[in-house]
Amino acid sequence: MSEEEHENRGPEIAPLPKEDFITHAPRWFRDCLAEKPESHWVTSEGTRVHYLKWPAKKADRPGLLFVHGNGAHARWFDFIAPLLTEEYNVASIDLPGMGDSEWRDSYVRETYAHAIRTVAFDAGLGPKPVIVGHSFGGFVTLITGALYGAELGGLLLADFRVRPKTDAVEWFLGDPPRRPTRVYPDRETALGRFRLAPLQECANAFITDYIAGHSIREVTDGDEKGWTWKFDPMAFQGLKMGGEEHADMFKNLPCKVGVMYGHISKDHDPDTMAFMKSLRPEAPIFTIPFAQHHIMLDQPIAFASAVGTLMADWEAKGALGVPKSKTAAA
């Protein structure tokens, strides 16, 4: 190939990842998956917790930690994190009992908060990390902020509602006893049973194909062999959220806070948004157009852009603990 032909060819496109559970993918998605994260483990309250890290392309940059939803895992952000590494260190946690993290004998909301704090600082996300939590991840991110907010640069709650005390709800109390997850005879059957929870359609099938492939594990011991989901179903048995406390927690957070909703999400409620705004008038509370509850799946680039914009704003205001001289130099 001549030099002229090489110049006219344009930038290289990352090849389609070899995972056979992805049926198709656009260029931006392939490029993101080509940026392979570092895999790390850290112990939190006796439990080995797994997380992924994508280092920033610049030195001495602040960082953020993504926290997934109920029964999900760190790889829900494999295609989001690389969109932010030009400026920030990014990590994504497998919460205890989910993804590749160890299971526990019992879980309380503080279990998750302590794991989030432990990972945020083990990952080297700067002196004041930002935590971005989606859905159930928004709940445990709020608990993290209530306990450790003075050590954090900010919280971004994605599609999690903070309700008035009189309207507080508990997601898990009163549920029937949890049962072990179903074991499917083969990998293809398990992949075919993957559904988003709460149930919604998603136009980006290449994304749901990808996260489905990382949501299952092989069962090789016991009487029943096959494939099942990675999460511990007992993690949610009797888990108390303490919803009546959330409004006070949100109001009194000692760090920056923002709230993001999918505009067509079941959780997008103008009354709730107005209530949260009354608690924190300075907080950015906004929606992502054409996104349902799983914002990062429906509108991944808009989701990442919103996170990056908020990070830049909070950094400029000195919330992330970066010296002004470094901020100016960057």
| Domain assignment of residue 17, yes or no | no
- Residues 6 or more apart from 302 whose CB is under 8 A from it? 288, 289, 291, 295
| Domain assignment of residue 3, yes or no | no
Res 55: pLDDT: 98
| Domain assignment of residue 5, yes or no | no
| Domain assignment of residue 25, yes or no | no
Give the CA distances from residue 179 to residues 18, 69, 101, 104, in Å, rounded to whole numbers and listed in that order: 34, 20, 20, 16
| Domain assignment of residue 264, yes or no | yes
In three-state secondary structure terms, 200 is: coil
pTM tops 0.75: yes
In angstroms, the CA 159 to CA 299 distance is 13
Token code pair at residue 123: 């990952």
| Domain assignment of residue 11, yes or no | no
Res 323: pLDDT: 64
In angstroms, the CA 206 to CA 329 distance is 39
Res 3: pLDDT: 37
Question: What DSSP assignment string belongs to 154-185?
Answer: EEEEES-PPPPGGG---SSTTPPPP-PPPPBS
Intervals of the chain under pLDDT 70: 1-23, 323-330
The tens digit of pLDDT for each residue in 12-51 reads 545 555 565 555 789 999 999 999 999 999 999 999 999 9
| Domain assignment of residue 260, yes or no | yes
Tell me the residue range of the domain where 52 lies: 34-329
Using the Cα atoms of residue 221, residue 93, residue 199 and residue 189 in order, give the sign of their dihedral: negative
Q: Are the C-beta atoms of 157 and 138 separated by less than 8 Å?
A: yes
Mean pLDDT rounded to a whole number for the chain:
92
**Residue environment code for 38-55, b if the CB has 16+ CB neighbours within 10 A, otherwise e:** eeeebebeebebbbbbbb
Q: Bridge-partner residues for 89, per DSSP? A: 63
Q: Look at the chain and report how many structural domains it folds into.
A: 1
| Domain assignment of residue 143, yes or no | yes
* CATH number where 245 lies: 3.40.50.1820
Res 24: pLDDT: 76
